[in-house]
Amino acid sequence: MRRRPIPTLLVVSLLLHALIAWRLLPALDGGAWVVAIGSVAFGLSAVLVPAPLLVRLAGLPRKAGDVLAWAGYLAMGLFSTLFVATLLRELVLAAVLIGSVVASAPVDFDVWRTMTARFVVALAATVSLLGLFNARRTARVVRIDIPLADLPSALQGFTIAQLSDVHVGPTIKRGFLEAIVRRVNALDADAVAITGDLVDGTVARLRDHVAPLADLRSRHGTFAVTGNHEHYHGAEAWVTEWRRLGLQVLDDRNVVLEHAGARLLIGGVTDYSMHRGEDHRRAAVQAAQSANAVSAKVLLAHQPRSADAASAAGFDLQLSGHTHGGQFWPWNLFVPLQQPFVAGRHRLKQLWVYVSRGTGYWGPPLRFGAPSEITFIRLLAA
């Protein structure tokens, strides 16, 4: 019999919350009332953290599900920071204790316990508030120049506005996307590229909230590829909906743009997790093929891991996302274990790779040390 994930997650959440509460609450030295209030807060957080998964599995009504998801993700973000800070506090206390023994210099360990516990709580609260502000504000524009060899003068200064990882879903709605669309349109780009994970839910739940995509404006139009989250929620249905809104979906194919007498190929591949290895390399080659000569080739690929296939297929530039730049510390430290590039501009042989930190966020509404972005890319002759 398959185990139900919710009871397991709830037990794990309760145990972790109990551990952190045991290490912090008595050390705050605030009396019985601090311990009592803190215990209630930790207990409530322990129950809320698994709530977003419960929303997905239980199929709750939309409004109730969104409220529960908001509460759960906020609790998840705060506890995540509190958990990491508490682990670091334990290392600091251990170092103080060992240092005092080695140096034969007694320290008031109770003072250190209280001081560090209060600092951890203040740090977690500050990071969570700043992270919430950073996540919810409209992404800033990041301007990037890409130098390409043999770029004709007609394509000098060609611009692409890139959106990635918006994650329209339980906590990101129509208003959030409308603000992004307005900022993109103000850039007056030659093309708009969406590199996956635009949504985090089904078409039925989110159709009204992605409607502003139809208002995106650029000289040559909007081009998109699917990310792993589209495949979690019905990629075929989302591709149909995107096309209805005027997006050109480039999963394993391309378009050739005629621009001031020059030809620019924009290709796209389905998310790396959908077909790996040789299948992915074949998809990249297919996306690079053109019946006529082109001056430059740009690939839209959700994950940076597509770079090897893109380089082998002869692309000049790959635009990706997926990583969120780690979204918030310290999880950004673990992204390199899975992806070759975390954020920003990189070089792989003849291929330039640009990895967006994402235009929205996933899960906890928290961004710290990895600001969201709308990327404005300009092609220049090397």
- What pTM was computed for the model? 0.92
Per-residue pLDDT, 51? 86
Per-residue pLDDT, 322? 97
**Radius of gyration of the chain from Cα atoms?**
24
Closest-CA residue to 313 (of 253, 224, 261): 253
Residue 367 has pLDDT above 70, yes or no: yes
CA-CA distance, 164 to 193, in Å (whole number)? 8
Task: Find the range with the poorest average confidence among 77-86, 195-204, 322-331.
Answer: 322-331
Per-residue pLDDT, 331? 76
**Parts of the chain belonging to CATH 3.60.21.10:** 141-381
Geometric angle at alpha carbon 161, from 156 and 163, rounded to 5°: 150
Neighbours of 102 (CB within 10 A): 8
Structure confidence by residue, pLDDT tens digits, 237-276: 999 999 999 999 998 999 999 999 999 999 999 999 887 6
Average pLDDT over all residues of the chain? 93
Per-residue pLDDT, 19? 97
Residue 306 has pLDDT above 60, yes or no: yes
Residue 297 has pLDDT above 80, yes or no: yes
Per-residue pLDDT, 329? 77
Residue 166 has pLDDT above 90, yes or no: yes
- Work out the burial of residue 248: count CB atoms within 10 Å of its CB; fewer than 13 is exposed, 13-18 middle, 19 or more buried: middle
Backbone torsions φ then ψ of 12, nearest 5 degrees: -60, -45
Local confidence band at 349 (pLDDT 50, 70, 90 cut-offs): very high
Local confidence band at 1 (pLDDT 50, 70, 90 cut-offs): very low
Task: Find the range with the poorest average confidence among 104-108, 120-124, 135-139, 276-280.
Answer: 276-280
Q: Which CATH superfamily is domain 141-381 in?
A: Metallo-dependent phosphatases (3.60.21.10)
Local confidence band at 58 (pLDDT 50, 70, 90 cut-offs): low
Of the chain, the end-to-end C-alpha distance in Å amounts to: 61
